[in-house]
Structure 1
């Protein structure tokens, strides 16, 4: 474990990213003691606030950046190899759990424009408004030029708003899916997924095939204080390791 360093030393220019159920700005505690790549012991009960992570593929290095005090941050290094901390990385939720004594805090570190529009309804309303604003000047000019088509132009503005509403819904769903996939990377186990977002609505056995298990979560499932907004299927292999997260209609 490296640190302490001044706030922002490692994370000042980094995007706050979720990893394996760890959400930026949320507090966690060590549920099972472990040693990191530097040989430092993290005892059971150790608490900190998760900030973000980075990964170095060429040496399988996972870096978790955390804050134990508000004005300082630490760097926990792990190596995803069997002879090093591979067991910890692959079963991270067994070692690190939400700090139940600390009220969850939805990360203010999220990109501001996404944080403001994480509500699907808000995002769709903005899309509808954009559609109307784009077509309104054109409709005004057309109606002035040909007064007899005023009603037709009015309906075209309404149609533009409706189209904007639906297009924004598609964009929102795609971004939400990307966020969920970033939170639950391939390889995380099914128990960890259930631990973070609860029991699925349906838990299906799918065999034979590469996908052996499918856990289905409805749109109202809460992740980081916000409903998923879309129905998702979490697909697992024969070892109960996540293969992919896919949207369902």
Structure 2
């Protein structure tokens, strides 16, 4: 089910995602993340899909979903009008669980500098 849901996001623009009925399945807050707020990757990490999330990446949180059967957490973001997905598997004692347990160290609130 997780792979089916993610395949819906793989080729769509963020505008299509926001209008999709599947976005309603995503909850608006997770730990310190709140829908519509901007965050920055503050510590590099690798997710379940082996995707490296680099320091300095600015993203807007859209929501999350948790799949208990797979212990899979999907965090959905907007990055420059494209979807940005972070998937973590939480049932293993590895770096993905460590990221989740210390999420605010990896994905921090983004404070824009005004000049």
* TM-score bin, normalised by smaller chain: 0.7 to 0.9
Contact 2:59 2:84 in 1 (8 A): no
The reply to whether residue 6 of structure 1 matches residue 16 of structure 2 is no
RMSD: 2.4
Structure 1 stretches of at least 4 aligned residues deviating more than 3 Å after TM superposition: 1-4, 8-11
How far apart are 1:27 and its partner, in Å? 0.6
Q: CA-to-partner distance for each residue in 1:135-193, whole Å, 9 max, x for gaps?
A: xxxxxxxxxxxxxxxxxxxxxxxxxxxxxxxxxxxxxxxxxxxxxxxxxxxxxxxxxxx
The reply to whether residue 55 of structure 1 matches residue 71 of structure 2 is no
Structure 1 unaligned regions, length at least 5: 104-249
Aligned length: 102
Q: Distance in 2 between matches of 1:84 and 1:33?
A: 11
Name the larger-Rg structure. 1
Q: CA-to-partner distance for each residue in 1:4-37, whole Å, 9 max, x for gaps?
A: 6322438722335100110100110011000111
Q: What aligned pairs does 1:57-76 form with structure 2 within 5 A after superposition?
A: 57-70=68-81, 72-76=82-86
Structure 2 unaligned regions, length at least 5: 1-5
How far apart are 1:59 and its partner, in Å? 1.4
Give the TM-score taking structure 1 as reference length: 0.37
Q: What aligned pairs does 1:71-150 form with structure 2 within 5 A after superposition?
A: 72-80=82-90, 81-83=92-94, 85-101=96-112
Give the TM-score taking structure 2 as reference length: 0.77
Q: Distance in 2 between matches of 1:11 and 1:86?
A: 31
